[in-house]
Chain A
Amino acid sequence: MTMIKVDHLAVSYGHGDSLLRVVNDVSFEVAKGETFGLVGESGCGKSTVLGALAGRNRQWTGSIRIDDETIGQKRSISQLAKQQMVFQDPFGSIHPRHTIGRTLLEPLEIHGKDNRQERVEKALKDVGLPLNFRYRFPHQLSGGQRQRVAIARALILEPRILLLDEPTSALDVSIQAEILNLLKDLRDREKLTYILVSHDLGVVAHLCDRVAIMQNGGFVEVATKAQLLADTVAHPYTRVLMDGSRGYVASRRPVGVRAP
């Protein structure tokens, strides 16, 4: 079953002379329970695609269908609850002067949900944090714990889709492993659909079933996990990104050109 269907999506910022088209004619489908990756370098438009799906950016054209509903530029509250975002830097995305409990309550208030205390407790339990963490402030948490809070906040509205924008790139390797395992468990348990934006193909290949490689606002290739692991991707740019994830490749050739 298709969870997300995007056709000819174009997203732009600004008006008039300063109009900047960031995403150009992108189409893809994500099945229910699937994890779809978006990979590319800074400025390629991967976060913008996510922003349009989340309802953060309304300046888009094309068609978006989520859970068999056609989404317009303006969405109802229940449509907005269906997909939630997790941001890159848990230092920046959580209010520094709100307790974790208050941070988690806010989406419940906005969406007028009942049983708030139980929902907060369930969300904390889901992400593996002790219940007394609700009385803490973000600065009393480590980076990994903070990212768990950000995931709990996204989960608390019981969304069908999580939009993950570089969820682990601000974390240490060992913490990244914990968060990636958590995301995998949650996906299987709650039957969630993920869209994962990352610049690290290693992370993407670990979590995703299919990956779109973006460059200059468009897809250059959609590769499956099997293709990535077997190294049978078609586009040279994908290969450049794969080499990058493996580390440094000593070469005298200009970057982007590979020997035949």
Chain B
Amino acid sequence: MLKPPENILTVQNMSVEFPTLSGVVTAVRNVSFSVGREKVGIIGESGSGKSTVGRAIMRLQPPQAVVKADRLQFEDINLLTVPEEQMLSVRGRRISMILQDPKYSLNPVMTVGEQIAETVILHERVSKKEARQRTLAMLERVNIRDPQRVFDLYPHEVSGGMGQRIMISMMLIASPSLIIADEPTSALDVTVRQQVLSILDDLVTERNLGLIFISHDLNLVRSFCDRVIIMYAGRVVETIAAADLDDAQHPYTRGLLNALPSLDHPRDRLEVLRRDPAWLEN
């Protein structure tokens, strides 16, 4: 089987609810999956709850949200009961998150070098000098040619692709064991996307991490990840090895695949997805 014996993260029957004035909205319902040292993709359309899953694992959901689960285990930590103070040493150090658009997720009034160094200074209490050395090495690792110069730039002075590489170096500098990447390349151009993904791919393989890759792009997830979790309306409808995606069983997955215009399988009309209310029962 594809799944390695050692799980970094185990999620069992997780639900995320948002109480609103007009009743409780269940964004994620009874989701179970596990992540080992592998690349797991979560695919879904907007509103399917895929980002909410990522945030719930990081415990970054808004305070009114209610997360329920039978089990939410990250390595030796029970994410359901761990106090917030201890969570501070988990977030960024052991689990980190790469967000979609570096333009909005980097701090605009801090140089990129300071932002990356901050992570190591906070989590490993190293000296400023050592943090700078580590940052420069990390920047070099993500193929930034002139780290000395880039260290002192502000986020608005770097391109989108470089911004995302800076983000990756910030997230990896404390050597986490799990990375959650929420649409990390959606804001990037095709050629830049390839570069960023191959850096991410190399680092994940080299450091033997677990990666949760949240995306709406089927082709991308299929070619980048080892396993794919398909979400629909807050539920996991199917979990399948990326290589077997063409043999997916669930009608929703099949519908998504057929709705995709493709260079390799041209068709005159694209299939329109028919949503079956039965998919909402589980």
Chain A interfacial positions (CB closer than 8 Å to B): 41-42, 143, 172-174, 176-178, 180-181, 184, 199-203, 205-207, 228-229, 231, 240-252, 255-256
Knowing A41-B189, A172-B45, A184-B269, the reply to whether A246 touches B259 (Cβ < 8 A) is: no
Are A247 and B216 also in contact (CB < 8 A) when A180-B261, A206-B266 are?
no
- SS class, residues of chain B in contact with chain A: helix
Q: Which chain A positions have C-beta within 8 A of B256?
A: 173-174
**B276 CB within 8 Å of chain A:** no
Is B263 a contact partner of A201 (Cβ separation < 8 A)? yes
Bound-complex Cα distance A78 to B270 (A): 35
**Shortest Cβ distance from residue B22 to the other chain A in the assembled complex, whole angstroms:** 16
- With A172-B46, A199-B189, A248-B193 given, name 20 new contacts (CB 8 A): A143-B46, A173-B216, A177-B272, A181-B269, A181-B270, A202-B219, A202-B260, A206-B261, A240-B190, A240-B194, A241-B191, A243-B194, A246-B223, A247-B217, A247-B219, A247-B220, A247-B222, A248-B201, A251-B194, A255-B194
Q: Is the Cβ of B216 less than 8 Å from the Cβ of A172?
A: yes
Number of residues on chain B facing chain A (CB within 8 A): 35
**Residues of chain B lying within 8 A (CB to CB) of residue A176:** 259, 261
CA gap between A243 and B264 in the complex, in Å: 11
Chain A neighbourhood of B219, CB < 8 A? 202, 245-247
B133 at the interface (CB under 8 A from A): no
What are 18 A-B residue pairs whose CB atoms fall within 8 Å in the complex? A41-B189, A41-B190, A143-B46, A172-B45, A173-B218, A173-B256, A173-B259, A176-B261, A177-B270, A177-B272, A202-B260, A207-B261, A240-B194, A241-B190, A245-B219, A245-B263, A248-B224, A250-B198
Q: Which residue of the partner chain A has the closest CB to B224?
A: A248
Residues of A within 8 A of B272 (CB): 174, 177-178, 181
Q: Does B58 contact A (CB under 8 A)?
A: no
Q: Tell me whether B255 is interfacial, beta carbon within 8 Å.
A: yes
Q: Is the CB of A248 within 8 A of B223?
A: yes
4 tightest CB-CB pairs across the interface, nearest first? A244-B190, A247-B223, A206-B261, A174-B273
Chain B residues lying within 8 Å of A172, measured Cβ to Cβ, are 45-46, 216
CB of A244 within 8 A of CB of B191, answer yes
Pair B259/A174 contact, Cβ less than 8 Å: yes
The answer to whether B266 touches A251, judged by C-beta atoms less than 8 angstroms apart, is no
A254 (CB) vs chain B CBs: closest residue: B195
Contacts of A246 in B (CB 8 A): 219, 223, 263-264
In angstroms, how far is the closest chain B Cβ from the Cβ of A113? 32
Q: How far is the CA of A244 from the CA of B269 in the complex (A)?
A: 23
Q: 1/0 per position for B70-85, CB-CB distance to A under 8 A?
A: 0000000000000000
User: Which residues of chain B from 36 to 88 have a CB within 8 Å of any chain A CB?
Assistant: 45-46
Q: Which residues of B contact A248 (CB under 8 A)?
A: 193-194, 197-198, 201, 220, 223-224
In the complex, which residues of chain A have a beta carbon less than 8 angstroms from the beta carbon of B221? 247
Specify which of B220, B256, B263, B269 lies most central, judged by the most chain A CB atoms within 10 Å of its CB.
Answer: B263
Q: In the complex the two chains form, what is the Cα distance from A195 to B193 in whole Å?
A: 26
CA distance A25 to B178 in the complex (A): 50
A111, B252: Cα distance in complex, Å: 45
Interface centre among A143, A250, A252 (most CB of B within 10 A): A250
- Chain B 242-273 interface 0/1 with A at a Cβ cutoff of 8 Å (1 = within): 00000000000001100111111010011111
Q: How far is the CB of A211 from chain B (nearest CB, A)?
A: 11
Bound-state Cα–Cα, A199 to B21, Å: 41
On chain A, the residues within 8 Å of B216 by CB distance are 172-173
C-alpha gap A199/B217 in the complex (Å): 14
